[in-house]
């Protein structure tokens, strides 16, 4: 009886050994497959538009709607302007840009037989925040501070007070606008503001 019990116990141990080996292998594989760490979630990237940090942009345009009123019969040339801007810092989804603008407009008027000619020159520094609406279009708003000089000359006057006159001073002006680029380097812009004219429009180039 003792020999029979010993034999049955030996057979049970031999039969259980392969099952234990398979269970151990399954547990190891399950650990390698199931206990993987959490995947790293990438951070959301700010929107990218046509005007980025480090971008240089040049606007060349004409303006309409003089911000100064004139009396009499007035003939005015469009206000010609050129502005340069560089993106200096990413702020949220947009970019902060700084630059400068120069503009010129000439007028001629006649009242009570007196002919008046004038020239209007502005030079300013500007800062604007650009928001990327699409990868080709950005909207912006900003403010400019500079110097404006208006010079007058008169013909047909018998008064010594109406010969020449110059006026100048510091000015500030807010503006809003948008730029759309047809290619990587060439586009168009439109801008509303209060400096020489209420509206500017023209070509944009970036490099």
Determine the Cα–Cα distance for residues 61 and 189; give it in Å rounded to an integer.
8
Q: Domain spans of the chain?
A: 1-30, 56-206
Q: State residue 163 phi and psi, 5-degree precision.
A: -115, -70
Is the domain spanning 56-206 CATH 2.40.160.20? The answer is yes
CA 4/CA 30 separation, integer angstroms: 40
* pLDDT by 10s per residue, the chain, length 207: 444 344 434 444 444 444 444 444 444 444 344 444 444 433 334 557 899 999 999 999 999 876 655 545 567 778 999 999 999 999 999 999 999 999 998 888 777 777 878 889 999 999 999 999 999 999 999 999 999 998 888 777 655 555 677 888 999 999 999 999 999 999 999 999 988 889 999 999 999
Q: What pLDDT is stored for residue 157 in this prediction?
A: 60
pLDDT for the residue numbered 6: 45
C-alpha–C-alpha distance, residues 16 and 14, integer Å = 6
**φ, ψ for residue 46, nearest 5 deg:** -65, 155
In Å, what is the CA distance from 93 to each residue of 7, 20, 47, 119, 198?
Answer: 80, 59, 5, 41, 28
pTM (predicted TM-score): 0.69
Q: Rounded to an integer, what distance in angstroms lies between the CA atom of residue 82 and that of residue 108?
A: 23
């Amino acid at each position: 009886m003792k020999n029979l019990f010993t034999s049955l116990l030996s057979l049970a141990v031999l039969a259980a050994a392969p099952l234990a080996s398979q269970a151990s292998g399954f547990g190891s594989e399950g650990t390698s497959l199931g206990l993987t760490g959490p995947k790293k979630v990438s951070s959301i990237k700010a929107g990218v538009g046509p005007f980025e940090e480090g971008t240089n942009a040049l606007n060349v345009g004409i303006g309409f709607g003089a911000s100064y009123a004139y009396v009499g019969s007035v003939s005015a040339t469009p206000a010609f302007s050129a502005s340069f801007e560089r993106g200096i810092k990413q702020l949220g989804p947009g970019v902060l840009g700084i630059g400068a603008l120069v503009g010129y407009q000439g007028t001629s008027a006649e009242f009570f037989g007196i002919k008046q000619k004038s020239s209007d020159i502005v030079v300013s520094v500007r800062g604007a925040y650009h928001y990327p609406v699409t990868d080709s279009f950005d909207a912006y708003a900003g403010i400019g501070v500079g110097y404006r000089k208006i010079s007058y000359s008169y013909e047909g006057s018998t008064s010594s007070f109406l010969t020449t006159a110059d006026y100048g001073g510091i000015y500030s002006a807010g503006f809003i606008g948008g730029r759309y680029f047809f290619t990587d380097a060439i586009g168009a812009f439109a801008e509303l503001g209060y400096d020489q004219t209420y509206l500017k429009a023209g070509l944009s180039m970036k490099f």
